[in-house]
Structures are given as structure tokens and as C-alpha cells.
Structure 1
Amino acid sequence: MIGNLRGTGQRAVLVALCLLGLLSACSDSTEPLSSDRNYGFSTDVPGIQLPMLSAAFWIERIGDDSERLTADVIAEFNRRNLASDPHLHDLANLPDTLAREQLLPLLDDVSRPARSPRYYADGREVSSADYARLESALGREALPSELEVRWGLVVRRDSMRSYPTDERVFRDPAEKDLDRFQETGVFPGQVVALLHESADGDWWFAMNYHYAAWLPKAAVATGPREEIERWRNRAPRLVVTSAQVGTNFNPVDPRTSQLQLDMGTSLPLMTGIEAGHDVNGQNPYASHVVELPVRDDDGRLEFRPALIARSRDVSVGNLPYRPSVLLRQAFKFLGERYGWGHDYNARDCTGFIGEVYKTFGILMPRNSGQQGQSDFAPTLFFADGDGDNERRQRALERLQVGDLIYTPGHVMMAIGRVEGEPYVIHDVVGLVYYDESGELYRGTLSGVSVTPLTPLWLSPGKKLVDSIYAIKSIR
């Protein structure tokens, strides 16, 4: 009977009989079943086969998987960069007061009219009157000559903005994707220095370790600096190593129930004895107990125990910094939609890179230009034009897993080679290359993607590889 079936009906019967154990030969090499595993995979990305979308494919090609940097070396790496890199903020050594003249450059760096037109979602251009209204919301006139620095911990994932507003603006009337008032994201447990507040009192002008912008007050709990430092330095700590995990549901305290925690979030651990073997009505022995910062009704900082199931993708302490682990971490974001400045509950190219490296304890500047042009890590710099093309090519031939490749406004991570072609994983919007007929193809990626490097173009006259201006090696 089976021999008389054809096409989809035959495959369905074969699958059913194999699942029921009624066929003796149900091997992986059965042609109809093997092809079904691809689920009709196809792509307009050149040089990509389905196995390449697995970290295991690239891990098999690693020559040396030894640990690159120890925890002590990484700690020194961060200490040195926090002290010297202008795009990183050493909050531990921030003074208790700042002069008005010290704050204004930070404020002006993000809260300023764009040089080119901006448009609201309804297509209306942002006018000079709109910018004047936004400027008045900054509360500049309330700035004293000397500012007292206040302190807080972030209690939920939220956004840092160019202005103290949720209004969304875009570069083009037809664009609805990249909100140009979106600067970056913040995450539970991040320490923030609170430097100023908006005229309406609803926003902080806040500084974290690598950014300063406007943050809703509802996302922050304020507290004494000493208490926050104690919490930040408490060990051991649980590090989120999945793209996202959530705290356990509990019916007792909604502030700690199903709270989203993104990759790289670090929280101090508590013991079951400290928690009293009962956390919000659940025995904690099958979960990790973390000390979570929460906000009381007046915005003040409190700490409460919360549970994260031991089955979740987390680590006690940072992960060992090895190429195979780096690849596994990067591929956990594969397919996530692109989110400019951590919009869409996602991340952009540098947000993706930064979150991956935070699982090893490695901190870096926020934006691609800040990363690429700084010397926070050993760097090869390349000049524009043909003069440095030979040096670029030699550098591409020596790429190792995890090396960071910078082009204007973008960063990519090297993951390995196939038949001599270097491949990268990156969080990217567009796709441009010449197809087999010699026509320029423009496609969309808008997510964390694996691509080859050399076939891609920026524009009809510019190869992507010719625009590489820096390659960094954190090893």
C-alpha cells in the first residue's frame, strides 16, 4: 500500500508510521524525510546554506579553543578602559557634585536639533517650533552652577532618549522603523548617575557606564550611593546567558514577577537560607534566588528576592572567554529583528555585540563609531581609498573568531571561513550585492544574520570590504 502512495501523502504516512514504530527502517537518510527537515529553506543571501545558521557548524572549524582572557585580565581591561576611554564612564569614581559646565556638553551631545529634516509618524516635518518645545522640556534654566549627583538602579528594561519624550521621529516621511530619538536601552540592575531632571519632573538625565541621555523616572529606583555600591559589588552573581529570560511568576509582588532580563544582566545571588526557603510562596531550591532592585511607591530603592528557574540559560559568574562559547552566545540572537538603539525590545548592531561580550564581563563603548574609532582594544586602522586595500586583504585573511569589523555606522563579528571566504554574524538592516546576472540586488535583512563578507556592497560604487576602517581583536 505504501508503495502506491505518492508525494505529500506518502511522506505523511511514512512520518506517522515511523513515529508509531511500525516501520523497521526509519533512518535519517530517508529522502522524503531528509528534505522535509529543511522546511523548504531558501534564501536570497549569497553563499548561505542552512547548516551555516548553527553555531555548531562554525565551532567545528575552530583551530584553537583555549581561553583567551582570564577573569583577572578582563577586570584590568575594563578598569583601564573606564579610566581612559572618553566614551566610557567610570561611575565608581564620579564625584558627588558636577559643575553646570560639565553637564552641558553631555546634554548638548544628545539633545540637539538634527542637521537634516526629521518627520513624525504622520509624515509631518519636525518644525523649529517643535524643537523649541522639546528644548523647553530640558529644564536648562533650572540648572544650578553646581549639581548634586544622585544615584539609582534600573528596575526594568527601558529606553534612553534624545529628549524627555516618547515621541517618535524618522529621517524620511515614509520611514516608520528607525526612531531617531531612540538612543539606547537600559536593563535591570544597571547603575545610573542621575544628573538632572526634565521640566515636567518625569524624566532623569542619566548616565550609565557607556551613555548619557533621558530616562523615564518610572524605570529607576533612587537610593544611597553606598547601598548601590554594596549591591553592585556583591558576589557571587548570576549572569543571564540567554537572549532573554524571565523571573518566575509570583502572585505576591508584581515588581519581581516575570521580569524580563536580557543577555549580560548580572544580579547578586542569595542562598535559600537567606530567603527563608520560601520566596513569594515558592520553595527556591529548584531555582536561583537573586536580589532584585525594585521601586517603591515613592520611587525609592528597595531589594527583594526573586526566583529564576535553574532550567533557564544562566551562569553563576561570567562565562569563560573562549571562541566556542563566544559563537554560542552570538547565535542565541540569530533571527532576532533589528531594533535601532534597542528599540522593538531587541537591539542594533552594537547592542548585539555589547550584550554578547557582557556575558564574559567585557565592557565596551555603546555606538559603532565610538567603538571603532577608540582604542579600547587592540586595533588595526585603515585609511579610506585604494591605498590600504592590500592591508585590508591581509587583515581579512588573518581574521579570528570574535574579531570585530567596523564600517561606517556598523560592526560585524567574524565567525570563520568557508572555502577561503570570511563569514560574519551581525545585526543589520540591508542587503546589497550583484547577482549572477550582474544586476545590483537590494534586499532586506533587518535582523541578526549570517552573511559572507566579500560579496556585499554598500552602493553601486563601494564594496563593503573597501569601507572597513578598523578591525579589533579582544584576545
Structure 2
Amino acid sequence: MMMNLSKLFVVIVLLVLLDPVHMGEGASMNRDLRMNTPEHWINKAEEPAAVIMSAQNISQYNAEVKRVLPTTIFDLRSYPAYLTAQSLTGLLQAAAMPQDTVYSKGVLVSDRYFDELNQQLNIGAVKDYNKVAYAFTIVRTNVRTFPTRLGIFDTASDREFDLFQETIINPGEPLIILHKSVNNEWGFIQSSNYRGWVLLDNLAVVRDRAEWVQYIDEQDFLVVTGSNVQLAGYHGTDAPLVFEMGAKLPLIRQADIGNEDHYIVKLPARDQLGELSFKQVSIPRSADVHVGYLPYTRANIISQAFKYYGQPYGWGGMHDSVDCSSFIMNVYRSFGFELPRNADEQEVNVGSVFQLKNNSRARIAQLSFLQPGAALHMNGHVMLYLGQENGKRYAIHSLASYTERLDDGSFKRVRPMKVVVSDLNLLRGNGRTFEDSLTVVKNVNW
């Protein structure tokens, strides 16, 4: 969570080990069009329509994740009303400023810039006891490592892997404001599964905590089941309000508007003082949404994953899209799972988790227990398992790049930067296949 050194390590893994990713013998980005459809894999799955876990089981699973990862996944309703100076200072200083050479828009970033940015953390304003505040996001909001919009990159030419981009938060998400920057433009926040800096203009602050809790506890809601749903003109601008897969929208009622049925939902808004108000917004019933969470079945897991097929790779939510771990998180959020945001934390030992053995025979035995929808983890990457075809294991995943071996033996670098279907015989830069590089695999069940 928001550890800049670990984030830099992940970027290096992506650029060095996954980029390039060499094509091994018989390995491929999938070119069989049948395999690029959810129906192909649903038809191969055993009992694809059977419910894997009930809503109660999923709730128990979530509770266990929170127990095992108490500093990563939160029930915000139980978050303390005050933080001590030691606790808050520790959180503010958890991320380290870059020590190596970094760039922004191709230009070397000076040490002076980072000194000034460090001042914006406003450590001097930390009190012995610090009262938190409660808010909702009103637009899709970037969570930053530090209070700055400036993109920071490992190389002068890079524009894809911003070291300060942590994740995004959907509109209507509850947050807790822990601290503010010196210029009062940024808030240091805690969401249900992330911590970082967001623009305060993107938040509506709540005066009455009970009203905040009531909105969180709404029992009737829509879930976004498409890769996203966009509501145009919500804030009186041309920019649409974008909700990612798995977002919850409290449902007020259904209504006929014109010649089409609509859902009427309740969304947080910001008044002229920056405080909370609510608006009723209509969403056509034809939109890719569902009343309540989807039933947790193999067919639905696969169908949800393929709604991202071909969409752009977006590190930390850049380009209004998903990276490898947010892809997994969003698919499972459609069923009510509350997973960590980052891939290494998603490996949490809850459910049917296998720490893979080095012995090849033992690994084969462990992999034989995989079910469609399982999460496949290796250093710096996570994939969603689909099944086997002609003796090869396949996955769908948000992938940055790979390299093809040409007929003359040379290599051609390819950057799909999108969600793809591939087998696991792809080679990493160290010569090992994806399958041999797997460290943890897990069937998400209880």
C-alpha cells in the first residue's frame, strides 16, 4: 500500500521481465478467435451455472480478509474518530520520495521539486490527536502517492507507468479524510482498500457522520456489471461521470421515462460550500447494471472478465482503464468480494490458496486443482485462469507487452497494453515461462 519503493520494484518487473516477454515454443498471444469469447470457456467449465458461494459465504470471506489484512482492508464504519500524532505521521511518511533519477514529461525532475513536495505533506500541522472527517467522491478520482498532479516516470520516454499514480476511486465512494496539504488542495484519505492523496475538489464533505453511514448501509443498490457505465451531463459539463465494474449505486426506485424504463439512483454531490448534498439520477435499464450483486458462478466470472477483453491497459487506473490487479478486483467486486487493490496483497491466504512447490511433479498436482476464475500470481503480475485447451493452460489478463520471435530468429517487441487471452507458455525475460513463474494460485471460495 502506497510504498513508493515497492511500486518502483513492480514497475521494474513490468519493464524488465515482462517487457520484453519472449514467445516460447508453442506459446502465443491467442489467435484462435473461438478462445477469445466467453462462451468457449463457459462451455468447457464444469457446472458453470452452479452457485459457488452464497452472499453469506462471501460476507464471511470478506470478514476473514479484513482479519488477515487489518491494515489493508477496512470497514470504514469502524475506523477511529481520532489518530494520534505518531499514527498519522507514520502514515504520511510511509512512502519514500524517489532516490533515483526520475522524469516528468521527458524532463529530469530536480531535488528541489521533491523538497517542496515534501513540505506539502504538512507534517508540522499534525496535532497530538487528529480528528478525521468523512466524505464521498463525486467524480472518478485519482489516488496519488504524494499531493501532486505531476506524472513521475522512471525514464524520459515513459508515459505509461506514473510512479505516483496509485489507483482510482469511483464516484460515490465513502472516504475518511485524515489530513490536508499545506495549500489545502489535497486530502490524505483512507478508502476501504487504499490510502493516498486526492484532490479535495473531488470530494463532498459530510457534516453528519450518521448520514455517511446510512448511505454506506443502503440495502437496495445497483451494481455496475459492464466494464464501466458513463452518465453524461451529471455535473452540467460535457465530461461523463464514469463508474467502473463493481461500483455500487443506491437504488431509489424504477420509473418510466419517455419510452424506456429507468432506474433512479441516489448519488452524492457537492454544494457551493463543498459539503454533501444528494441528487437523483436516472440510468436506463438497458445499461449494463444489475440489481444487487451478480450470482457467483463460473459462467458469470468468465462473462465479467471478457467484458474487459481488448480494453486498454491502465497502470493505476490511467487512461480510464485497468491494470492486472484492478482487473481482478473489479471482476470479483461484481459478486460482492472486497479484495485488496494490489496484486501482492490479493495473494492473501484466504480460500483455497496454493503456495506452489518448486518440484515440477508437485506443481502439476497443485495446478490440477485450478478452477476457471482462479487468480494466478507471479512477481509483478496476476491473471485470471480460464481453463485448458489442447494441453495448455489459458488466462485472461491485462498485459503491458511481450516479444514475438520472428522466422529469422530475431525478436519483435510488441506492446498490446490491453486485456488479452494467452496461454501460460509465454516466456519472461529470465527465460522462464509464465506457468513456471507462478508463485501463488488461488480458487476464490470459502
Quickly name the TM-score band, shorter chain normalised: 0.7 to 0.9
Letter in structure 2 aligned against 1:117: T
Looking at structure 2, the residues matched to 459 and 172 of structure 1 have their Cα atoms a distance apart, in angstroms, of: 19
Cα gap change, 1:257/1:307 in structure 2, threshold over 3 Å: closer, same or farther? Answer: farther
Structure 2 contact 229–244 (Cα < 8 Å) conserved: yes
Give the aligned residue type for 2:84.
A
Deviation at 1:79, TM superposition (A): 2.0
2:250 corresponds to: 268
Identity rate, percent: 28
Does residue 76 in structure 1 map to residue 60 in structure 2?
Answer: yes
Given the alignment, which residue of 182, 193, 199 partners 1:216?
199
Residue ranges of structure 1 left out of the alignment (5+ in a row): 1-43
Q: 1:292 aligns with which of 247, 255, 267?
A: 267
- Assess, with a 3 A threshold, how the Cα gap between structure 1 residues 403 and 438 changes in structure 2: closer, same or farther: farther
Equivalent AA in structure 1 for residue 354 of structure 2: L
Cα distance in structure 2, aligned partners of 1:56 and 1:390: 32
2-structure distance, mates of 1:391, 1:118: 43
How far off is 1:145 after superposition?
A: 1.5
Residues in 1 aligned to 2:42 and 2:434: alpha-carbon distance in whole angstroms: 25
SS of aligned partner of 2:402:
strand
The answer on 1:417 being equivalent to 2:399 is: no
- What SS does structure 2 have at the residue aligned with 1:471? strand
How many residue pairs match? The answer is 416
Match of 1:247 among 231, 243, 258: 231
Shift of 1:432: 4.0
In structure 2, what is the equivalent of residue 31 of structure 1? Answer: none
Q: Does 1:378 align with 2:352?
A: yes
Contact map agreement 2:396 2:421 (CA 8 A) in 1: yes
Residues 349-392 of structure 1, C-alpha deviations (whole Å, 9 max, x = no match) = 111111111110001111111222x2244311136xxx343332
Aligned pair partner of 1:464 in 434, 441, 446: 434
TM-score normalised by the chain length of structure 1: 0.83
**DSSP 3-state at the match of 2:47:** coil
| Residue 101 (structure 1) aligns with | 86
Segments ≥4 residues shifted beyond 6 Å = none
Q: Hey, what does 2:136 align to over in structure 1? A: 153
Q: 1:249: how far off? A: 4.9
Map Cα deviations across residues 259-291 of structure 1 (whole Å, 9 max, x no partner). Answer: 22221110111125xxxx79xxx5697100001
Whether contact under 8 Å (2:324, 2:383) holds in the other structure is yes
Moved more, 438-447 or 49-58: 438-447
1:146 maps to a residue whose letter is Y
Q: 3-state SS of the aligned residue for 2:40?
A: helix
Q: For 2:407 and 2:53, locate their aligned partners in 1 and report how far apart those are by CA, in whole Å.
A: 43
Match of 1:429 in 2: 400
Query: Are 1:113 and 2:97 an aligned pair?
Result: yes
Partner in structure 2 of residue 170 of structure 1: 153
CA contact under 8 A between 1:247 and 1:256: conserved in structure 2?
no
Letter in 2 for 1:232: I
Distance in 1 between the 2:258 and 2:251 partners? 15
Shift of 1:246: 2.3
SS at match of 1:355: helix
Equivalent residue number for residue 393 of structure 1: 364
Q: From the superposition, tell whether residues 176 and 255 of structure 1 become closer, same or farther in structure 2 (CA, over 3 Å).
A: closer
1:80-118 CA distance string (max 9 Å, x none): 2223313212212111111121123322233x2124321
Gaps of 5+ in 2: 1-26
Q: Secondary structure at the match of 1:170?
A: coil
Q: What is the letter of the counterpart of residue 340 of structure 1?
A: W
Query: Residue in 2 aligned with 1:17?
Result: none
SS in 2 for 1:445: coil
State how far apart, in whole Å, the 2-side matches of 1:109 and 1:422 are: 39
The answer to whether 1:449 aligns with 2:427 is no
> 1:224-264 CA deviation, whole Å, 9 max, x = no partner?
221111011112111110111123657xx628994222211
Q: 1:369 aligns with which of 329, 344, 350?
A: 344
Matching residue of 1:9: none
Alignment of 1:202-241 (within 5 A): 202-223=185-206, 224-241=208-225
CA distance in 1, matches of 2:366, 2:416: 26
Match of 2:10 in 1: none
Counterpart residue type for residue 266 of structure 1: K
Q: What is the alpha-carbon distance in structure 2 between the residues aligned to residue 257 and residue 113 of structure 1?
A: 33
